[in-house]
Structure 1
Amino acid sequence: MGSAGVEAAPASIPTSGLCLLLFITLPCCDTTCGGEEQKADDRSRLHDAGFRQNRSLYSCRMQDLVDETDLALLNALQVAPRGSWAILGRALDLDPATVARRWRRLQTEGYAWVTCAVGPPRHNTFCLAYIEIECVRGEFDAVQDAFVRQPEVVYIHHLTGPRGLLIVVARSSPTLISEYIRDTVEPMPGIRSYHAEIRTAGHVEPSRWRLRSLDQDQQRALEAGTEAEKRAHDIRLEAVDQQIYQLLHEDGRMPFTTLAERAGVSEPTVRRRANRLLNSGILRLRCEVVQSVSGWPVSAVLWAATPPTHVESTVQSFAALPQVRLCCSLTGPRNLLLMVWLRSLDALPQLEGTLYERAPELTIVDRAICLHTAKQLGRVLSREGRATAQVQTTLEAFPVL
């Protein structure tokens, strides 16, 4: 369906029954969904007092909880995605073997993964389309499933509102976006209508978003061991670079020996070329985490408008807000799109107030809550948000020039 609602409880269910259910469910999150050893000490890493409560309310359906030590590890991997277990362990005051064991569990069970995205120096070599889709009643799942299998569809979000599906499509040119819409979207059964806009500029990227589970000393220790990006726009890419991109997209922590074996080149060659791609910002690694256990369990999309002459200053006014995960310019009258992660549903109007205070020239034209993300940068996500499968990324987003 193109919209979502909440049904009232049947009249036959007594009020006392509902109260009893709440009484039983909420303590379960605190007593049976805990982490591993030293959980009490790990709680000191929480960013604020409401973090544990929010995480419990939204994650008690998960088979295993991610504890605060796990979140600190994931935050460390956001800072140093290919950091060694020894480096990560020193920053977290953990044994390297413990760090490796925790990561294996998180990755294997789909709670977290390290992947790769094309960085800003190459954003002008491909085209992203944000397409809002209204589905015929009863056809939503079929339409969503059809898009999940397509490599050019990098994101799929189920939203509130009349157009219940937002997909992000990557092709090498506007002409090929037109071809995709004409050949794939328009004839697809189950689609009632659609609205497409093209991204014209990226301002805030998900690769820069952080969990904020580390203290300042831990953050500095990890940043000291990473090399700052040195932008290089004149690097000529070859087919082996495309292979490295696809392999790092599959697993951003793939060892150089495995990268070399699968790319069919020597280890020194793959090490040199991978480091060049990463250090130049052409490729960016990012550690993703299941949203429901991140402490930021609610996501929303904001469509906004600001005068073209104020776009840069407007974005700068809110880019550092912890809620802002993505911001880009779009064609059309709604020329800014924001993806935000929130502590709770009631944080959305609070955030909008903050945005207006920081950027009075900004007008929020529309907003929607993201009910479920079905695909995230090529990862297929379950209802709980865990990664269950991967669709190989399209090379149209990383062409050889």
Structure 2
Amino acid sequence: MDSVTLDSLDLELLHALQLDGRAPFSRVAEVLDVSDRTVARRYERLRAADAVRVAAVTDSRRTGHAEWLVRLRVLPGGCSAIAHALARRPDTAWVTVASSGTEIACIFRVTDGGPAPLEALARHPQIRDVDAHRLLRHLMDRRWLGRTSALTAEQISALRSPAPGDAAPVPLTDLDRRLLPALAIDGRAAYPALAKQIGWSESAVRRRLEELRRSRALQFDVEVDPALLGFSVQCLLWLTVAPSRLTTIARSLTADPETAFVGATTGAHNLVAIAVCRDADALYTYVTDRLSSLTGIERMETTPITSYAKRAAPAS
């Protein structure tokens, strides 16, 4: 990624796209009180520098998929190649390198009821250990505040995407299996380009995308390195929580500005969170002051995130 510095307009643009990843630049420009050309130029600059990407993210609950959170402990030197191989798989939604290159955490999306494809991973000569947990539920319904704090309440109201419609499960079609990977790469791809790329008519692509958005089976996330926003430390928090306190503690975590994701899982660690902090001192304060004050956390493991091979989901 080229060196990039974000100014106030960039931050407003990123917040706007987080509210509606496919909002026309003309609409964004009107709310931000700048020209269409300025908004388009700013976005293209960030895209060209590989600093920002709008990616489509499906909601597994509505597409009939299960999510498995998998931890791989890897021999030194093997992490990068394994992480990038996992990132190229269509059934992975999130791949991160942690613990200074000796661990990988990723999410597999599989047909509901099916297991995560762990057998091949366990046979890999550079993987020492494989630990899989079913991700039972996403418990955080807002975005990380570090990238959604640039706009006023009035601007947010003007840009927020339409309210969802029917929340019933949405069976994926042959069109979806072509469309969704294309949108995961570029969530702002124009309809004519999408139609040409996947070999369907523009009208069919437009209609199906609108249906998926209306049902909330498809959302759009803005991928941006928190370091560009002044947050240099990210950490996975593996928490073992008393069952009677799980909901209360999860609710407390989702209200914290440091939190980017909270989910309930199977296994010894029944709650997992991602904390994003200004620096190591801020993470220390969050862990020792904030988390230690929550009654019901019986055990906690912290795993520093060092890099991402694939970002989309959890939608932080």
TM-score, length-scaled by structure 1: 0.70
Q: 2:310 aligns with which of 365, 368, 375?
A: 375
Is 1:98 equivalent to 2:98 in the alignment?
Answer: no
Distance of 1:280 and 1:96 partners within structure 2: 29
Q: 1:337 aligns with which of 255, 261, 272?
A: 272
Runs of 4+ displaced beyond 6 Å:
none
Task: Map 1:39-54; keep pairs closer than 5 Å.
Answer: none
Residue type at the aligned position of 1:269: A
Residue 62 of structure 1 deviates from its aligned partner by 4.8
Is 1:155 equivalent to 2:94 in the alignment?
Answer: yes
Is 1:73 equivalent to 2:10 in the alignment?
Answer: no
Q: 1:310 aligns with which of 245, 253, 265?
A: 245
Distance of 1:107 and 1:333 partners within structure 2: 40
SS in 2 for 1:134: strand
- Aligned twin of 2:109: 170
Decide whether aligned partners of structure 1 residues 282 and 139 sit closer, same or farther in structure 2, where only a CA change above 3 A counts.
Answer: closer
- Aligned twin of 1:113: 53
Decide whether aligned partners of structure 1 residues 188 and 272 sit closer, same or farther in structure 2, where only a CA change above 3 A counts.
Answer: same
Residue 250 of structure 1 deviates from its aligned partner by 2.0
Residue 131 of structure 1 deviates from its aligned partner by 2.2
The structure whose Rg is larger is 1
Q: Percent identity?
A: 25
Distance of 2:18 and 2:136 partners within structure 1: 26
Query: Which range moved further: 194-203 or 330-339?
Result: 194-203
Are the counterparts in 1 of residues 77 and 101 from structure 2 also a CA contact under 8 Å? no
Residue 145 of structure 1 deviates from its aligned partner by 4.2
- Aligned twin of 1:266: 201
Distance of 1:88 and 1:214 partners within structure 2: 11
Residue 271 of structure 1 deviates from its aligned partner by 2.1
Is 1:218 equivalent to 2:158 in the alignment?
Answer: no
Distance of 2:118 and 2:35 partners within structure 1: 51
RMSD after superposition: 2.5
TM-score, length-scaled by structure 2: 0.87
Q: Flag structure 1 segments of 5+ consecutive residues without an equivalent.
A: 1-60, 379-401
Residue 354 of structure 1 deviates from its aligned partner by 2.5
Residue 227 of structure 1 deviates from its aligned partner by 0.4
Residue 108 of structure 1 deviates from its aligned partner by 1.9
Q: 2:124 aligns with which of 182, 188, 191?
A: 188
Task: Map 1:1-400; keep pairs closer than 5 Å.
Answer: 62-119=2-59, 121-122=61-62, 125-160=64-99, 164-173=103-112, 175-177=114-116, 180-182=117-119, 184-204=120-140, 208-210=143-145, 211=147, 212-223=149-160, 226-352=161-287, 353-357=289-293, 359-377=294-312
Residue type at the aligned position of 1:256: Y
Residue type at the aligned position of 2:86: F
Decide whether aligned partners of structure 1 residues 153 and 77 sit closer, same or farther in structure 2, where only a CA change above 3 A counts.
Answer: same
Equivalent pairs, count: 310
Residue type at the aligned position of 2:118: I
